[in-house]
Structure 1
Amino acid sequence: MTTKITVDRPGMLTMVQDYPGRTGYWQIGVPPSGPMDDLSFRLGNAALGNPEGAAGLESTMAGPALRFTDATEVCVTGAPATVTVNGTVVPQWRPVTVPAGGVLDVGAVAGPGLRVYVLVGGGLDIPEFLGSAATFTLGRFGGHEGRTLTEGDVLVVGEVATGAAVPVPAEHVPAMTARWEIAVTEGPHGAPEFFTRSDIDTLYATDYEVHFNSDRTGVRLTGPKPQWARTDGGEAGLHPSNIHDNAYSVGALDFTGDTPILLGPDGPSLGGFVCPVTVVAADRWKLGQLAPGHTVRFVPVRAEHAASRRALGVARRAGLSLVVSPGGDGDDGVLARRDGDTAVTYRRSGDDNVLVEYGDMTLDLALRARVHALHRRLDTERPAGLLELTPGIRSLQVKVDPDVLPVPTLLDLLAEAEEQLPASDELVVPSRRVRLPLSWDDPATREAIQRYMHGVRADAPWCPWNIEFIRRMNGLDSVNDVFDTVFAADYMVLGLGDVYLGAPVATPLDPRHRLVTTKYNPARTWTPENAVGIGGAYLCIYGMEGPGGYQFVGRTTQVWNHRHPQAAGPFEAGTPWLLRFFDRISWYPVEPEELMDLRADLAAGRGGGVDITDGTFSLAEHQRFLAGNAASIDAFQQVQSVAFAAERARWEAAGA
């Protein structure tokens, strides 16, 4: 007999999650999702005898009322809340039985803490999307119809677990508080390259406050503004927080401009901002319980002393402090450096990621070729414990299970691989030409700018018109020159997932087409789906609605197929992302109304105005092109550099 659950009251932001969520797709911008407080979630499943990752429910601030058709064991964990079965109060953190026809009611979170979890014996029987039942609401997939629950929804319970149901031992129950200490390791972007040592000391000495504008994508904090070790990010952007895009770790403290944000399980996989510290894996559960007004103190620990995330309160008791080695690793987040024709820096990103970074902080396709060679080699060898490989512009993030592949062992493997990589100029890769429609200065992007001015920052120098700001920063005579430059360019895709779901980070192959801008500071809270923007020397197509910081130039058609897994128009079956690494994007202009028709056409499974032809890209040929046009490229960059400096001086004079 199949047990069903009817939602009598959904609570707040109640959604299906599983653990570890949707893994294996970080390199194309699909976050893992999963429970934000994974420890409470896993302990609840273990108490019921379920596999620790079995699908259950997560609620924020207030839980649901659920009616069961058959007698079912449940366990409610997470933040404290009043829990009743048919009106009788029952405890959290221990299995209880809801009788046939009975109602489990989880009330408002009493605090401290923010999220509550409902686990059921046998888990929830939910169709998987890309290998997981986890809900990613921004992407509208996973869980129950890709959304939070509403009244009247019906869920199905899976096969009852065979393990014994036992209460969670009191000493294993996570300790909730309004004043959190969170263990971090330094890196990947520390002092003295990006931050001053004083900045890092201040970071550890500050009680940051959790901002109300926080969610599963990230926990925004308020605290002191860094002094910064750099005046700007060069080609990556005007603000010193800007860098050439690289992969992020969940739990990284991401400075988007001067604003620190702890990246959550629904956060972006790729971006162009610095991260001075990263929460160790075993402490990331705390991000799910940070409520507005709570304070956060970051405590440095040595990576090798960070407790295993695998231990469910046995080797690591959740209620105890992780502070085992005050002062951190003392290496500014750099694990090792390697000299040679192409220098390599190995940066720590938590206790489960290493960021392999090539060369100087410049935009050089030869560095991206080196990244590609290392990516291809590691992907072929796939040593046990290797979980994810995510390329950036001049870096490759390698995620491991440190219990299986310890970071010191990984560093040895990386050093061995480096010895055997081919020369960068030997790179010849498949490179499709992808021609897309672009609605220039689209009304949707204009609306996003207005929202930003009304709700975030009215006096930003890029407002009220991003295109005029781009013109000014690049020393162009008119906004028509911006138009001509964008439409003349071939943009090579160097990374995917810059702002989720296959969103490309791309740069013009011809440096004379590289318009350089800075990113919004602070970032926007809303960006329309498939907006096209420029940040630093890069262009991005936003795969979905969400936050963002690139300067708008227009809007295009979808780069993510919500009809997955069916093939639809230019999308291939089983791969809902349109673009691939090393694709070359070019644009043709359309009116806003025509774009809406093309978007509807693509959503219906037809072509949508997208034209794709196969081809190849040779780095050697590209380098010959650069050499043959060196004089005019240099002249263009000289004008651009003067305009860039003038804009920075204008900011400084205005106190921006």
Structure 2
Amino acid sequence: MATPGEPVVHRVLIANRGEIARRVIRSCVKLGVETVSIFTTVDALAPHVREATRAVCLGDNPREYTNAARLVQEGPDATVALRHKRGAPFAATLDGEPVAWLSSFRVAAGQVLAVGQIIGSVGVRGYLAVRGGVEVPPYLGSRSTFPGGKFGGYQGRYLRVGDSLPLSKTADQGAEPTTLPAELAPAFGGGGECLAGGRTDVRPDDTVLFQRLTLADALAARLATDAAVAAVRSVAVGAAPEAEALAAYRTAVAAAAAAAAAPDLPLPPSRALTLELPPKEGFPGAQYRLAGDRYVQVEYGPMELDVRLRVRVHCLQAILKEMAAAGELPAGGLVETSPGVRSCMVEYDIALLSPGRLLQALELAESRIPDVSSMVLPSRVVHLPMAFDERWTREAIAKYMKSVRPTAPYLPDNIAYIAENNGLAGGKDEVRDTIFSASYLVLGLGDVYLGAPCAVPLDPRHRLVTTKMNPARTFTAEGTVGIGGSYMCVYPMDSPGGYQLVGRTLPIWNTFGRCGPFSPAKPWLLEFFDQVRYYLVSESELETMRAGFASGQFDIEITPTTFDVAAYTAMVAGLEVETTALKAQQRTAMDKMLLAEADSLAELAAAGLDAAAAAAGAADDEDDESVYDKPGYVKVVAAFSANVWEVRVEVGQAVAAGDTLLVLEAMKMETPVAAPVAGRVLAVRAKLSTLAPSGMTLLVIDTNEQEA
């Protein structure tokens, strides 16, 4: 949220006339926002022109009101910088003249900065930095964009051709154009990073060897990086001459090495399991695992589902937060704690809180955890409607079978698979009855995205178990309910996923928190230790409820209650005989289904090899790609290895710059590939549902007709 009294928007361009424009101006004046009126000569003396903070004449032609390129010329000057990550520079020009990467330069109003294709075959990302940043409203403390969740950044979506991004008032203030000194520039490739044949990119089937660092090495590297950042900043803002900044950097690097060699407490062993505390009466035992130089993972007890361990994790989080607030930890040293079912990932800043001191604090926190066996925690019973085995789930499975995997033990019906995997004689009906009888205790949030619950039935007799889809789906409808392992999850957005799908419920995320149980500070529905209970509704009833819930016209029942650990433990003990029999039944059924899955995967692999051989043969028969190395021909290449999910154009089709040509799928995400230029599709080399390796030419665009 913006600071009260501080406008998120500093300047508004008014592309309108008359009284409407005047109303906008009056509203902006009240908010302290500058206004820019645009006009043609016929309106030169109009009130909306005179009352605006600034007015810009577009000439005599009224059509200039809709000329986006003309309006951009009235934007502010800016100081920008181009940088690449992992050695991925792009072709870049300013008004047609090449500009250097790892440097900053001024872009005057009306100039065009064009960023094109990757230079070479290394890397996939580049960054454009603007002095002062892009002035978009912060969301949950960030200005970044999450397109999948449709929030943050610019309108919560990918940028499109014609978008106009508002820049900060300081876009051209306080910094002089500069080039990063060579000593501070990141170096990619060469030395230990260079692969066979002099390559610096990693390709399928490559063997990658990692260099093991000690915690002392990591601490020294972090402190040296901080010194480099400080030096770069001082050069960029003109706080110090380059020579002076470099001298300070060298001194800081030497000091970093000395500081890393003499921490406030001895560094723990640089191995994954850095500390282990044995179990004893009232304590399940703990393991402390290093996760790089930013995290320590705390794990409790044996690797089994025990809700009491989750309660212990909850206590650890609370105590660490109290210790940080009381000054028992260095300010800023404890960054965040993320709970799991029997673990807690502790993020820390190694430059502020040494690993030795962190482990000391974790042991101290452990000693302060009370007896969890008798704890009573606040809880809520959240009643949600669910349409069971509905059309949205079936559509997601059909899409999966078409584009990912046509056959599997869990296809074409996830629910029938769940019944078979658990040895349920009642089939799908018994799955339904079990789900609607269960009370799901929320142990985690954000398991998939955006406050998605990781919840387990309180009654162990309701714990259906499943494997996940392999490979995962690339699409799951928002609100879908799935089961993976013994956990229930609700997908809060359209997203990839691997849980077996059983139905759909209400949205559990409300971006702006404007209605119902949501708020701007808490746009997610569920909380830790909530108990979710479903009731059955039809598809049409659910559609009506979903629309009403999103608009604040349908309320759900939420009942305050408690979670009594001792009562839960007694209940589980009383059901031990039934639970043991159920687990044996599930084990027998699962072994059978795992064998079926192994056979299915073997068949899938054989079919894939045959398809790959056929594709290779077809590729050999195609024309040599060099025929497209002609003036005006633009090759669109795959920036990374991915499956061709969708091809949206055909040979001969006219396309505009920014049009989506095809969609690639990798890492459970779909990525649109846009036309870099306008022209006509000359060739489509991408094949639907096949692998496109990094650097492959997907299609070719002929720009010659466009130029003519």
Q: Mapping of 1:458-537 within 5 angstroms?
A: 458-477=406-425, 478-537=427-486
Q: Do the aligned residues in 2 keep the contact of 1:66 with 1:105 (CA within 8 Å)?
A: no
Residue by residue over 1:223-244, the C-alpha shift from the partner in whole angstroms, topping out at 9 and shown as x without a partner, is: 5xxxxxxxxxxxxxxxxxxxxx
Write the distance in 2 (CA, Å) between the matches of 1:463 and 1:623: 37
Q: Do the aligned residues in 1 keep the contact of 2:298 with 2:346 (CA within 8 Å)?
A: yes
Write the distance in 1 (CA, Å) between the matches of 2:107 and 2:346: 44
The answer to whether residue 96 in structure 2 is matched with residue 87 in structure 1 is: yes
Write the distance in 2 (CA, Å) between the matches of 1:562 and 1:180: 45
Residue in structure 2 matched with residue 569 of structure 1 by the alignment: 516
Residue in structure 2 matched with residue 152 of structure 1 by the alignment: 162
The answer to whether residue 313 in structure 2 is matched with residue 301 in structure 1 is: no
Matching residue within 622, 632, 637 for 2:568 = 622
Q: Do the aligned residues in 2 keep the contact of 1:178 with 1:295 (CA within 8 Å)?
A: no
Q: Do the aligned residues in 1 keep the contact of 2:335 with 2:347 (CA within 8 Å)?
A: yes
Q: Could you say if the C-alpha distance between residues 653 and 159 of structure 1 is closer, same or farther in structure 2, counting changes exceeding 3 Å?
A: closer
Matching residue within 162, 174, 182 for 2:186 = 174
Is the partner of 1:155 in helix, strand or coil?
coil
Residue by residue over 1:255-293, the C-alpha shift from the partner in whole angstroms, topping out at 9 and shown as x without a partner, is: xxxxxxxxxxxxxxxxxxxxxxxxxxxxxxxxxxxxxxx
Q: Do the aligned residues in 2 keep the contact of 1:467 with 1:482 (CA within 8 Å)?
A: yes
Write the distance in 2 (CA, Å) between the matches of 1:208 and 1:538: 39
Q: Do the aligned residues in 2 keep the contact of 1:472 with 1:643 (CA within 8 Å)?
A: yes
Q: Could you say if the C-alpha distance between residues 574 and 655 of structure 1 is closer, same or farther in structure 2, counting changes exceeding 3 Å?
A: closer
Residue 416 (structure 1) shift = 1.1
Q: Could you say if the C-alpha distance between residues 334 and 77 of structure 1 is closer, same or farther in structure 2, counting changes exceeding 3 Å?
A: same
Q: Mapping of 1:395-406 within 5 angstroms?
A: 395-406=343-354
Residue in structure 1 matched with residue 273 of structure 2 by the alignment: 334
Matching residue within 525, 529, 543 for 1:582 = 529
Write the distance in 1 (CA, Å) between the matches of 2:97 and 2:318: 58
Residue in structure 2 matched with residue 364 of structure 1 by the alignment: 306
Residue by residue over 1:570-611, the C-alpha shift from the partner in whole angstroms, topping out at 9 and shown as x without a partner, is: 22342101000000001011112221221111221333x522
2:403 counterpart letter in structure 1: G
Q: Do the aligned residues in 2 keep the contact of 1:73 with 1:98 (CA within 8 Å)?
A: yes
Residue 505 (structure 1) shift = 0.2
Write the distance in 2 (CA, Å) between the matches of 1:4 and 1:370: 52
Residue in structure 2 matched with residue 378 of structure 1 by the alignment: 320
Q: Do the aligned residues in 1 keep the contact of 2:409 with 2:600 (CA within 8 Å)?
A: no
Write the distance in 1 (CA, Å) between the matches of 2:12 and 2:348: 38
Please provide the CA RMSD for this pair.
3.1
Write the distance in 1 (CA, Å) between the matches of 2:209 and 2:201: 6
Q: Could you say if the C-alpha distance between residues 336 and 208 of structure 1 is closer, same or farther in structure 2, counting changes exceeding 3 Å?
A: farther
Higher relative contact order (CA 8 A, sep 6+): 1
Residue 180 (structure 1) shift = 9.3
Residue in structure 1 matched with residue 33 of structure 2 by the alignment: none
Residue in structure 1 matched with residue 119 of structure 2 by the alignment: 110
Q: Do the aligned residues in 1 keep the contact of 2:404 with 2:473 (CA within 8 Å)?
A: yes
The answer to whether residue 552 in structure 2 is matched with residue 543 in structure 1 is: no
Residue by residue over 1:500-555, the C-alpha shift from the partner in whole angstroms, topping out at 9 and shown as x without a partner, is: 10000000000000001111222222211121111111110111122211111111
Residue 429 (structure 1) shift = 0.9
Matching residue within 585, 588, 601 for 1:639 = 585
Q: Which moved more, 1:456-465 or 1:528-537?
A: 456-465
Equivalences, count: 482
Where in structure 2 are there 5+ consecutive unaligned residues?
Answer: 1-8, 15-70, 195-199, 232-248, 254-259, 261-267, 603-708
Write the distance in 2 (CA, Å) between the matches of 1:410 and 1:598: 48
The answer to whether residue 285 in structure 2 is matched with residue 343 in structure 1 is: yes
Q: Could you say if the C-alpha distance between residues 295 and 102 of structure 1 is closer, same or farther in structure 2, counting changes exceeding 3 Å?
A: farther
Q: Do the aligned residues in 2 keep the contact of 1:113 with 1:177 (CA within 8 Å)?
A: no
Higher Rg? 2
Is the partner of 1:595 in helix, strand or coil?
helix
Residue in structure 2 matched with residue 69 of structure 1 by the alignment: 75
Residue in structure 2 matched with residue 445 of structure 1 by the alignment: 393
Is the partner of 1:517 in helix, strand or coil?
coil
Residue in structure 2 matched with residue 271 of structure 1 by the alignment: none
1:592 counterpart letter in structure 2: E
Residue 652 (structure 1) shift = 4.6
Residue 459 (structure 1) shift = 2.6
Write the distance in 2 (CA, Å) between the matches of 1:574 and 1:92: 39
Greater helix percent: which structure?
2
Q: Mapping of 1:545-560 within 5 angstroms?
A: 545-560=494-509
1:305 counterpart letter in structure 2: D
Residue 622 (structure 1) shift = 0.7
2:477 counterpart letter in structure 1: P
Q: Which moved more, 1:578-587 or 1:542-551?
A: 542-551
Write the distance in 2 (CA, Å) between the matches of 1:332 and 1:514: 36
Q: Do the aligned residues in 2 keep the contact of 1:334 with 1:346 (CA within 8 Å)?
A: yes
Write the distance in 1 (CA, Å) between the matches of 2:558 and 2:10: 47
Write the distance in 1 (CA, Å) between the matches of 2:544 and 2:342: 38
Write the distance in 1 (CA, Å) between the matches of 2:155 and 2:106: 28
Residue in structure 1 matched with residue 548 of structure 2 by the alignment: 601
Q: Could you say if the C-alpha distance between residues 461 and 330 of structure 1 is closer, same or farther in structure 2, counting changes exceeding 3 Å?
A: farther
Residue by residue over 1:448-494, the C-alpha shift from the partner in whole angstroms, topping out at 9 and shown as x without a partner, is: 21222222222322111111111111110111111110000000000
Q: Do the aligned residues in 1 keep the contact of 2:453 with 2:490 (CA within 8 Å)?
A: yes
2:216 counterpart letter in structure 1: E
Q: Mapping of 1:52-451 within 5 angstroms?
A: 69-78=75-84, 79-111=88-120, 112-160=122-170, 161-176=173-188, 181=193, 297-306=209-218, 307-308=221-222, 310-312=226-228, 333-341=272-280, 342-382=284-324, 383=329, 384=331, 385-451=333-399
Residue 3 (structure 1) shift = 8.0
Q: Do the aligned residues in 2 keep the contact of 1:128 with 1:142 (CA within 8 Å)?
A: yes
Write the distance in 2 (CA, Å) between the matches of 1:651 and 1:498: 25
1:392 counterpart letter in structure 2: G
Is the partner of 2:475 in helix, strand or coil?
strand
Q: Do the aligned residues in 1 keep the contact of 2:475 with 2:497 (CA within 8 Å)?
A: yes
Write the distance in 2 (CA, Å) between the matches of 1:142 and 1:645: 45
Residue 67 (structure 1) shift = 5.6
Write the distance in 2 (CA, Å) between the matches of 1:346 and 1:390: 14
Is the partner of 1:638 in helix, strand or coil?
helix
Write the distance in 2 (CA, Å) between the matches of 1:445 and 1:143: 31
